[in-house]
A and B are shown apart, each in its own frame.
Chain A
Amino acid sequence: MSLACEAVAFSYEEAREKLTALRDVTFSVPAGGSLALLGASGAGKSTLLQVVKGLDEVESGAVLLDGLAPGHSGYALARRQTGLVFQSAELQLFAASAREDVAFGPRRLGWDEARVAEAVDEALDLVGLPPALFAERHPYALSGGERRRLALAGVLAMKPRLLLLDEPFVSLDPRTRQDLVMVLERLRASGVTVVLATHDIDLAWALCDEHLVLERGEVAAAGAWDFGPSGGLLAGGRLREPFLVQLWRRLGRDAASAPRTVAAAAEALA
């Protein structure tokens, strides 16, 4: 599913003051593509993801899902096929068992129990929580990394075509982080469009074709990764370049063709 935002603006009230969270945000992601959403805390990344998902309505502008505008008859379906994983897993989980929690979304979609059961097992397998071992476990008895996987499974079970992730790697132990990267790679390979809000520029480089930098609610840079010839940092110096890009530059190689992953870099240098 492709995603496009056209001049999206959003503000909200806090302490009786109107605060503009998003201003004139325009960008697009092709179907099956991937976008890294970058920016400091408070820049508006979470707000943008929630607006795209439809939890908040835009003040002006439009969010186009698969090229469809909000008035279109297919828009509601497209919204249901958009999944959003929040940063805190603890706030997403609530059921008595992992299976019940993951089944919540599919049930709300109106699927029959057979289809729900299948979706649940598939999702648990995909995130690395084999149903045989984890289905009956209580969500809050799981470790931090397992809870993060479970929260992701709950969204994946709904078979989203567009997946929005809000800082999925924060507070994760290194092992789970690596596993999660592999899960996202697999999802991308199966054609799911991914928008990933993250602070980790190296993971963004590994997983995403394009990037969008938000600064105080406005777009500071967008599009394909491009590294200036002078070795400048992204977005006018506000973000550091991915490690592998810096390394390629230092070795006198073409920065733009730097490998995306450490494994690929090792292959190239061995």
Chain B
Amino acid sequence: MRAAIAQYYPGTSVIHRLDPRAKFVAVSALGVALFVRTSFLALGLYAAAALVAYLLSGVPAVWFWRAFRPLLWLVGLTFVFQVLFAPGEAFFSLGPIHLSWQGIQTAAYLTLRLVVLVLAGSVLTLTTPPIALTDGLAWLGRPLRRLKVPTDELALMVTIALRFIPTLLVELETIMRAQRARGADFSSGGLLTRARALVPVLVPLFVLSFRRADDLAMAMEARCYRPGVVRTRLHPLRARAADALLLALTAGVIVAGTLL
């Protein structure tokens, strides 16, 4: 069973081989610029940049669609709302609804921004293994250590959590099946009935998780883990010239957008 979070598509494209830190900074910067700029040409440029990155990654288009589809309703709703209710010179009015060219334009911008944001974000998550991403974020978050935030330990926690998600999903399904085998019903009844039926499902999941946490902690200590101690990596993050190039190009695109 595949978890949809942090979906990674293995590959060897130039995008795959970029340092996760550089990718994260580039995507974040582009995301901010997206929502700051209002020029259609700028948005078009940013969209083109994201699209080029996606194409270079070699990941089939259908994966982007899978990431975007759950948000379709949000985007659609926003679009309709903007079209119907946004302020502007109306060419058609009916009660609170007024259609205006400005409204349609705002709606189009918002939709484009959301699509490009998901596109850029997808490039990041599809080309970066979760462990590399968490390592990258831990490195970027290093300044927070001065505020006593345990960034390395948090990164390890995230990695472990991700590792166990598929396992937990299988266990959850087994728990539900075992209860169904004894007559439990998870599909009929109102919302409250169904919610109550889920309580006996959560109990073993929680108990197992606590036990698992104990066992894991001991197994980690048995392999000399100590929080707070600096750890080396089998696959350390190594920034290369290509990463500097990515950052430079991104900066260039963003600046170009401000001029359009």
* Chain A interface (Cβ < 8 Å from any Cβ of B): 14-15, 50, 53, 55, 80, 83-84, 86, 88, 90-95, 104-105, 108-109, 140, 154-155, 158
Contacts and interface: CB of A to CB of B under 8 A. Distances in A.
A94 B204 CA distance: 5
A57 B197 CA distance: 22
Contacts of A104: 179, 182-184, 200
B178 A14 contact: no
A55 B171 contact: no
CB-CB nearest 5 A-B residue pairs? A108-B183, A105-B182, A92-B178, A94-B203, A94-B200
B13 to A, nearest CB: 22
Contacts of B178: 86, 91-92
B55 to A, nearest CB: 23
A86 B182 CA distance: 11
Given A50-B177, A95-B200, 17 more contacts: A55-B181, A83-B181, A84-B181, A86-B181, A90-B207, A91-B171, A91-B174, A91-B204, A93-B204, A94-B175, A94-B200, A95-B203, A104-B179, A104-B183, A105-B183, A108-B184, A158-B182
Contacts of B108: none
Interface string B171-193: 10011011111111000000000
Given A14-B1, A91-B174, A91-B175, A53 B204 contact: no
A55 B175 CA distance: 12
A138 to B, nearest CB: 10
B182 A108 contact: yes
B177 A88 contact: no
Contact of B207 (A50, A53, A55, A140): A140
B154 interface: no
B246 interface: no
B183 A55 contact: no
Among B180, B183, B207, which residue has the most Cβ atoms of chain A within 10 A? Answer: B183
B195 to A, nearest CB: 16
Contacts of A90: 204, 207-208
B2 interface: yes
Interface of B: 1-2, 171, 174-175, 177-184, 200-201, 203-204, 207-208
Contacts of A91: 171, 174-175, 178, 204, 208
A14 B2 CA distance: 8
Nearest to A96: B203
Given A15-B2, A94-B203, A94-B204, A88 B174 contact: yes
A155 B203 CA distance: 19
Among B2, B179, B201, B208, which residue has the most Cβ atoms of chain A within 10 A? Answer: B179
Nearest to B172: A91
Nearest to B171: A91
Contacts of A83: 181
Contact of B181 (A53, A93, A140): A53
Among A14, A80, A108, which residue has the most Cβ atoms of chain B within 10 A? Answer: A108
Nearest to A155: B182
A15 B184 CA distance: 28
A80 B177 CA distance: 14
A23 to B, nearest CB: 22
Given A90-B208, A91-B204, A94-B201, A154 B177 contact: no
B177 A55 contact: yes
A63 to B, nearest CB: 15
Contacts of B182: 104-105, 108, 154-155, 158
Contacts of B179: 92, 94, 104
Contacts of A108: 182-184
Contacts of B181: 53, 55, 83-84, 86, 155
Contacts of B2: 15
Nearest to A83: B181
Contacts of B177: 50, 55, 86
A50 B181 CA distance: 9
15 contacts: A14-B1, A50-B177, A83-B181, A86-B177, A86-B181, A90-B204, A90-B207, A91-B174, A91-B175, A92-B204, A93-B204, A94-B203, A95-B203, A104-B183, A104-B200
Nearest to A15: B2
A122 B202 CA distance: 28
A195 B201 CA distance: 27
A157 B183 CA distance: 12
